[in-house]
Structure 1
Amino acid sequence: MGAARHDRLVWTDDDYHHPPDWLATLNADYESHGPTSEVPYFIGRDPLSVLLEPLYASAGSLGLYLGNQIWGGAVIFNRNDIDGVAFLDELRRTVSDDGLLMEYLEVTTVSRTRMVPIGGTVREAIERPVRWTQILRWHFPSAIAGTLAISLVVLTGAIIAPLPTAAVLTVLHLAINEVLGVRRWTAVLAYPAVFVFVPLLFYALIRRTFVWGGRRYRWRGKFDVTVVKNQR
């Protein structure tokens, strides 16, 4: 961002397909809405990531879309839309660009979903919710508290009344996919996914380190980050 020559900036990731008109479309979105973000839909490439797909949609993608929140994989804004000096100073002292950018920039999230492949190994599938939970913990603690509370309520229902809960979760996640413009059979996995997702959340909260981009981080506070070692 500091090296960019122009005032209109686009942040993205390299882990999903960018169609030829992607940049032009985002630029047109900015002209209509101002700062704009798209919505990710995470597609699993290993059994655990596939199982968790519906909960990534409901706990992640849907919240970004309905709440006009930023996904760092596709966001456009002008340099003067944020306090760039303060933002870059804090970015150099923390881990999550998405989490920090959410604190500095208000966006309109457009109804356009990008398929993002994730995982590949069980280890990678475990690291993602750990990283996601740590981002919420340090940037939006009330959000992670709410996620835990709702997840525990749903898990309790899944144990006490399995058939009704399974039916409700399946229909709900099919509806969520419709809202996001996605047709994925994995919505039927929402019920069994709850039994994995909730323990993963608690595991993520007690983990002292996590791996991201080939590096292992120890995140003790929002601006207290240590690179433990390179994983590559």
Structure 2
Amino acid sequence: MSDRPPRSVLLPTTRWTDACAELAAQLGDNDELLIIHDGEDDPVTGREDAPEGVTLVAAGEPDGCSGKANAIAAGMAAARHDRLVWTDDDFHHPPDWLATFSADYEAHGPVSEVPYFVGRDLLSVLLEPLYASAGSLPLFLGNQIWGGAVMFERSDIDEAAFLDELRRTVSDDGLLMEYLHVTNVGRTRIVPIGGTIRESVERPVRWTQILRWHFPGAIAGTWIVSLLVLAGAVLAPVPAAVALTVLHLGVNEVLGVRRWTAVLAYPALFVFVPLLLYAFTRRTFVWGGRRYRWRGKFDVAVVE
């Protein structure tokens, strides 16, 4: 018998995905997997043969927060254990994922991993290298949190204050960064994104607004650096193309990912900067089938 504390794994999803089965197979004695969905009409509720240890939690419709924030809040309220694991349904969880993550916690305390976003449509494929350098690499180097893979215990945060704010905002991991210091163990998970151009346009809007409300200095720095690099790319295209390609090949090496899309770094820049400007000017965005208006850090309206 292991003396490891039991774990509550929180997985927001409305469908039974491969991740659900992968995580259910990794549960130990007294562990639980909470499949957190919106309501009784979700496809996941039609599954009648859920494995042992799996519980469906209906979060209800969000009011004043995002669907993801609402789901995490409901999951934390329903969870029976102190050791919590947040994860997502859109990436592969290998058979030793949960056990390795627990060993990481024992060694380091609160821990997280790194996403590497791989495109499923033309625009998201083009933007892959910039998502790696502007998104994944800072998480890795800065010991920052990715909500798709984070383990902590209730005593590691001020839970009551956190949940109160979570129910009034959009970004679950953006807010958690303000409450919790983690060790990012640097393991990279491939996360497919996009599928349609529309989805790929909405994503940077949401990410930009997360930075705007949680890390305004970071978004200002990103904008300034992007403009400077774009100016250099226009004035000296050949050296810039070579430098950007080499730089992003290096970023991929640090992240442990081999992707040919590093060669797209130069043309991606000419799309990324206008998208940043578009993201700054947008007042609403779509996430998970809902449209949100994020007017302040704790002022969120679900408009569709």
TM over 0.5: yes
What's the secondary structure of 2:191's corresponding residue? strand
Which residue pairs with 2:262 in the alignment?
187
Aligned mates of 1:13, 1:136 — CA distance in 2: 21
Counterpart check, 1:210 vs 2:285 = yes
Which residue pairs with 1:173 in the alignment?
248
Q: CA deviation at 1:189?
A: 0.3
Counterpart check, 1:148 vs 2:223 = yes
Alignment of 1:76-115 (within 5 A): 76-115=151-190
1:116 to 185, 191, 197: 191
Which residue pairs with 2:36 in the alignment?
none
Unaligned runs of 5+ in 2: 1-75
Aligned mates of 1:208, 1:111 — CA distance in 2: 34
Alignment of 1:1-232 (within 5 A): 1-229=76-304
What's the secondary structure of 1:171's corresponding residue? helix
Q: CA deviation at 1:213?
A: 1.1
Unaligned runs of 5+ in 1: none
Aligned mates of 1:91, 1:156 — CA distance in 2: 39
Q: How many residues of Structure 1 are paired with residues of Structure 2 in the alignment?
A: 229
What's the secondary structure of 2:78's corresponding residue? coil
Which structure carries more helix by proportion? 1
What's the secondary structure of 1:104's corresponding residue? coil
Aligned mates of 2:255, 2:283 — CA distance in 1: 34
What's the secondary structure of 2:92's corresponding residue? coil
Aligned mates of 1:227, 1:120 — CA distance in 2: 23
- Divergent runs of 4+, >4 A: none
Q: CA offsets, 1:10-43, max 9 Å, x none?
A: 0111111111111111111000110000000000
Aligned mates of 2:209, 2:257 — CA distance in 1: 27
Q: CA deviation at 1:2?
A: 1.5
Aligned mates of 2:186, 2:208 — CA distance in 1: 25
Bigger-Rg structure (1/2):
2
Which structure has more relative contact order (CA 8 Å, sep 6+)? It is 1
What's the secondary structure of 1:105's corresponding residue? coil
What's the secondary structure of 1:19's corresponding residue? coil
User: Which residue identity is paired with 2:89?
Assistant: D
Question: Identity over aligned residues, as a percent?
Answer: 82
Q: CA offsets, 1:156-200, max 9 Å, x none?
A: 001000000000000000000000000000000000000000000
Q: CA offsets, 1:72-98, max 9 Å, x none?
A: 000000110000000000000001001
Aligned mates of 1:214, 1:81 — CA distance in 2: 32
User: Which residue identity is paired with 2:167?
Assistant: R
Aligned mates of 1:111, 1:102 — CA distance in 2: 17
Aligned mates of 2:186, 2:221 — CA distance in 1: 25
Aligned mates of 2:280, 2:87 — CA distance in 1: 27
What's the secondary structure of 1:2's corresponding residue? helix
